[in-house]
Every structure is written in structure tokens, then in C-alpha cells.
């Protein structure tokens, strides 16, 4: 049986681990946060003492860490975990990082006989918990098949978007550009409606039946109005992802005035509210009594 290892058992990694436990895949895992590791073990996951132990045992190593710096802390060739990877194994990089970094990482791992699947996901923690993610995958046939076998447990939709690492991260960054822009505009629009004296919940109901509807509006608007700022996806994560997308745009000479404006909103929110609140907290900036 394939041994699945997970490094990074926070919100998304923990949700993926939980689903795999329920579907009897018996994953092993590690997180530097003792509480996250304890939750994983309490749900039936097999906790390991460090990242190296997970890497050494895994046929499929799933990395669900925050950013490029944390990926490097595990996969830098000078690190014990990277040295513990077995030839022929697959690393599934779920993290949203820069496409250029992913391409270079794939080349580096290939020299060690390791397959890299560039595989960010979409749908957020709520959909991860019920196995309804969208998987965006790019990699060779061995890497793709290693993760495709898990797809029925994890996802509603699977898209193979390329045969080598990089393409999936381009698509994820562009998706995050759209998502963050929608979140910022949703908060701004609700603020306008409230300031105009109209019931925002009635507005929400009308929009959901009208041309302005979107999944982001349908999911975020009620959370904004209910002060539900649970960190399913945080202000800091979207600020990171927007930075990746806008750097990608700069490298390719693409104009992004709307996304640049959204980045400014998220940057201001991070300064005023902190990075750890759920992204609906951006609405706090647009309440008439709080507008700054």
C-alpha cells in the first residue's frame, strides 16, 4: 500500500489529512505546531516526530505549507528531509508559490530521482473538509497518477493542466487574483449599500439572483454581515498570493490595475487588522463607523 505523508497540518493540510484518515489511507504526518499534530493524531493519523521521518517513509509526500520559504526549509538539498526522500517517490506541492520557483524545484528534485507534482488546490478549507476540492495538477505521468488515485477522496474536479511543474501554479495565482479582487469588491459594495440605508441582507438576496452573483459573493457576503472572520483563508494568505500574481504579471508585462488596487486593500487590512483574521474581516474597513 502506498504510504502517504503530509507535512503541514494546519487548516488545509489538517482537512486533507482528516479526509484521508476517514477514507482509510492511513497517512503519516508532521507539523511544527504541536497542537496541529495532536489533532491529526486524535483523528487517527500517524504522527511522526519530524519532517525527515515523514519524508523517509513516504511514497507520496504532500506539502501543505504556507510559502516558498517553508517549502525550502524542507526540500533544500542540504536539509535532512530532502536527503531522506526515496528515488521514485512523488512530492505533491499543494502550497501556492511562484511558478518560476516551482519549475526550478521540479528540475532540482528530478536530479535526485524524485517526481514533483505542481498541485495547488481551490475550494478552501470548508470544501477540503468534505472532499470537494478542485485539484489543479501539472507534472509527469508518474506524479499525476500518484495523486489522481486519491482524487475520489479529496475532490469534485481534477484538472491536469501541464506535463511539467509550473503551469498549475500560474493558474492558481491567476485564480487568487480573481478571488481576492472579488472579496475586496464585495466588502466595498456592502459598505456602499449600508451607507445608503438599504438592508444589506436584502441586497445579498437580490444579488444572488442577479447578474452580479458569484461564488465569492455568495460565500463571503453572509460571513461579512455575520462578523464571521474564522481563518478559513486569511488576509495574510491572500496578500501573499496577490504578491505572487502581480510579480508574475510584471515579469510578463501584463497590466493589472484592478488586482493592484485589491493588493492595496489587503495590505491596508493587514496593517489595520492583522494578517491572521479570515478574509471577510476586510469588510471592517468599509463599515461607515470604521471607514479609514
Catalytic residue list? 172
The answer to whether 97 touches 67, Cβ cutoff 8 Å, is: yes
Q: Is 159 in a helix, a strand, or coil? A: strand
CA distances from 194 to 210, 226, 291 (A): 19, 14, 12
Closest CA to 137 of 88, 73, 91, 85: 91
Q: What per-residue string of b and e applies to 154-184 under the rule 16 or more CB within 10 Å gives b?
A: bbeebebbbebbbbbbbbbbebbbebbbbbb
Q: Which helix (H) or strand (E) holds 62?
A: strand 60-63
The answer to whether 231 touches 126, Cβ cutoff 8 Å, is: no
The answer to whether 204 touches 225, Cβ cutoff 8 Å, is: yes
Amino acid at each position: 500500500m502506498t504510504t502517504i505523508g503530509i507535512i503541514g497540518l494546519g487548516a488545509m493540510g489538517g482537512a486533507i489529512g482528516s479526509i484521508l484518515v476517514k477514507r482509510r489511507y492511513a497517512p503519516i504526518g508532521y507539523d511544527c505546531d504541536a497542537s496541529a499534530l495532536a489533532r491529526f493524531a486524535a483523528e487517527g493519523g500517524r504522527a511522526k516526530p519530524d519532517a525527515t521521518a515523514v519524508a523517509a517513509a513516504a511514497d507520496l509526500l504532500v506539502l501543505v505549507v504556507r510559502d516558498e520559504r517553508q517549502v525550502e526549509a524542507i526540500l533544500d538539498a542540504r536539509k535532512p528531509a530532502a536527503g531522506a526522500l526515496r528515488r521514485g517517490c512523488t512530492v505533491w506541492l499543494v502550497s501556492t508559490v511562484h511558478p518560476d520557483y516551482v519549475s526550478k524545484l521540479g528540475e532540482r528534485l528530478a536530479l535526485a530521482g524524485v517526481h514533483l507534482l505542481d498541485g495547488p488546490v481551490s475550494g478552501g478549507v470548508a470544501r477540503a473538509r468534505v472532499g470537494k476540492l478542485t485539484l489543479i495538477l501539472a507534472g509527469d505521468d508518474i506524479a499525476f497518477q500518484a495523486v489522481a488515485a486519491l482524487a475520489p477522496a479529496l475532490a469534485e474536479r481534477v484538472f491536469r493542466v501541464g506535463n511539467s511543474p509550473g503551469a498549475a501554479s500560474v493558474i492558481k495565482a491567476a485564480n487568487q487574483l480573481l478571488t481576492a479582487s472579488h472579496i475586496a469588491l464585495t466588502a466595498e459594495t456592502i459598505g456602499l449599500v449600508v451607507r445608503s440605508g438599504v438592508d444589506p441582507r436584502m441586497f445579498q438576496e437580490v444579488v444572488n439572483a442577479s447578474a452580479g452573483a458569484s461564488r465569492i459573493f455568495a460565500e463571503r457576503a453572509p460571513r461579512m454581515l455575520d462578523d464571521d472572520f474564522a481563518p478559513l483563508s486569511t488576509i495574510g494568505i491572500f496578500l501573499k498570493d496577490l504578491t505572487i500574481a502581480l510579480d508574475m504579471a510584471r515579469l510578463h508585462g501584463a497590466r493589472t490595475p484592478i488586482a493592484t488596487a485589491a493588493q492595496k486593500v489587503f495590505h491596508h487590512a493587514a496593517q489595520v487588522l492583522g494578517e491572521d483574521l479570515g478574509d471577510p474581516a476586510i469588510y471592517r474597513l468599509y463599515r461607515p463607523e470604521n471607514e479609514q
